[in-house]
Every structure is written in structure tokens, then in C-alpha cells.
Amino acid sequence: MKKSLLAVAALLWSLALIAGEKDSLERARERALNFIDSVNKAMKYETGVIKLPDGTVQLTIPQGFKYLNAEQSRFVITDLWGNPPNSTILGMIFPEEGGPLADSSFAFVITYDPIGYVKDEDADKIDYNQMLKDIQKDEIQENLERQKQGYSPIHMIGWAQKPYYDKENKILHWAKELKFGDAEAHTLNYDVRILGRKGILSLNAVATMSELGLVKNDIPKVLHIASFTSGNTYKDFDPKVDEVAAWTIGGLVAGKVLAKVGLLAFLGKFLKFIIIGIVALGAGIVKFFRRKKQENVVYEPVQADPPAGTEQNG
């Protein structure tokens, strides 16, 4: 983490000089540390059994993990990480020692999509090697469209974890190795889908490929963190009143793969901080930090205020 902080500090220092600022490298590094510290202290995590507001989903957060609620998670994903707003986000799951700006960590983002009851009859018939070839073929046209819209192309290198469907528990999971634009480091995109009566729960993690071992080590526990409550499970499906989804198991894995990655397009955890630094130092439109009057001084970023309920306790 120190290496990443120094890299960020060096860039901020260079930007400061360009903008005519007099900050030293040490001051830039201090800003980086204060920013990360203020974000970490603003987050309010939960553990144990958590029932989400609409009563459809229940989370059981085991030892070694922590949950960030929907409002704070949307702040992290949109304001800190620079992704488009997404109202379907139900929260985020971090390793106990992880966090939004942790250097060697990951997070699973939880979303719910009421697409209907997904039939799983095709689960044992899918040729995932052929699917990979089809995805790589289709990405050529999709990337042309992405570039027209000003986004970097995405290339799927291969399966980081071949798709597997647990028919008994109705859980599908797989991982993709992706390359964004000219980035040297490849991105890991790990997907978990839990099938329910009226839709699917999605747990999506983005990390670097170097963190694959870390993520795979935690997957057995992560698979059972989220579940549907009684009356909303897969076995509660009622064909007389419930809708059947147009998607199948194969469709969940292959459908619009590159578009789905847009939710958490990986720029590198500290690149988001660098972008904030560019705005603060280069333009001078907003203050980068404001001093909070407490016994222990903490700097807070004003680029994007934390949502209600995340203030530090005085």
C-alpha cells in the first residue's frame, strides 16, 4: 500500500506544480493519507444477520467479512469509484480488513434484478469453451460501439474460473479475466448469481488478476452470505402467478458480458483518488479537504459528501 500511496503522492505533487501550488511531496502524501483515513472512518459497517428493507433478501455476514449498506455503497461506487448511478445496489461485502480504498482487497457488490424465474434445464448442456469463443468474437463489434461513446475497449482473455452451477442450492458462479484498453494489469471480474422465485441476486467482485487467489479462497463463504427469504426462494415458484424469465443459465453467463462489466469498470482503486486530486488541484473549483473540529483532526473530502448516516461519531 505504501508504494501505491507514494505513486499517488508523486502525481499529486506534479499536478500541484503545474497548477502553481507550492505543496511539497510530503504535503501531497499527507493529503493522500488524510483522504483515505477520512473515507475509512466515514464508513459504517454491519455484521451478523441483516434483513434488507423489502424483506426479499437476507444476509448472513460471517466472521472475516463486513457489510456496507445500500446508501453508503452507492456513494462508494458512484462518487468514489466513478461509476454511473445504479439504483439496484443493495450493498457491498468487504473482507474484514478491506475497504473502498484498500490497496490489496476486493468487494462484492450486491444487486437484485426482478427478471422472473430463471429455468435451469440447460445447465448441464452448455459448452463453455465454445461460449468463450463466441464472446470474444462478439466483443469486436461491441468495442467499436464502446469506443464511439468514448470508452476503452474490453477484451475477455478467458475464464479465470470456469462457470459452475450448483443445482441443489441454485447458485451459479464464474470469473472472467479481462483487459481494459491498454492497461498492463488484467482485471478479475467474479460473478455469483443466486436464483429466486421472481429474479436473481447478483454478487459481483472486481479486482486485479493478482488477487484471484484471495477471492477464490473466500468464495465458499461468499456463496452463502446472501439468500432469499421464505416465500421468495426458487422452490416457492408458482407457475400460476409468477413470470418466467427470458434468460436461461447460459444466458446469464453470456448475455451482454461487456455491458455488465460497465457497472464496475476497473480503473484501479487509486485512480479514482487521482481523478479527485486532478479536479481539486488543477481547477481550484472545490476544496479538496475541510478541517473537522474534533479532538483528533480529520480531513474530509468535499468532492462528494458521504450519504446521511455515515458521519463520524463525535
What pLDDT sits at residue 256? 54
Element (DSSP H or E) covering residue 29: helix 25-42
* Residue 304, in any domain of the structure: no
The answer to whether the predicted template modeling score (pTM) of the entire model surpasses 0.75 is no
Shared domain check, 184 and 133: yes
Shared domain check, 232 and 133: yes
Shared domain check, 50 and 168: yes
* Residue 307, in any domain of the structure: no
How many structural domains are present in the chain? 2
Q: Is pLDDT above 80 for 296? A: no
Domain around 86: 45-267
Taken in order 213, 267, 141, 113, the sign of the CA dihedral is positive
What pLDDT sits at residue 104? 65
Residue with cell 472472467: 176
Element (DSSP H or E) covering residue 283: none
Shared domain check, 277 and 256: no
Shared domain check, 220 and 165: yes
What's the longest Cα–Cα distance across the chain?
70
Q: Is pLDDT above 80 for 112? A: yes
Confidence band for 78, pLDDT divided at 50, 70 and 90: confident
* Residue 207, in any domain of the structure: yes
Shared domain check, 86 and 200: yes
Nearest C-alpha neighbor of 70 from the set 60, 85, 82: 85
Q: Is pLDDT above 90 for 160? A: yes
Q: Contact at 8 Å (CB) between 226 and 110?
A: yes
* Residue 311, in any domain of the structure: no
* Residue 309, in any domain of the structure: no
Shared domain check, 85 and 32: no
* Residue 312, in any domain of the structure: no
* Residue 129, in any domain of the structure: yes
d(CA 142, CA 155): 10
d(CA 135, CA 254): 7
What pLDDT sits at residue 154? 87
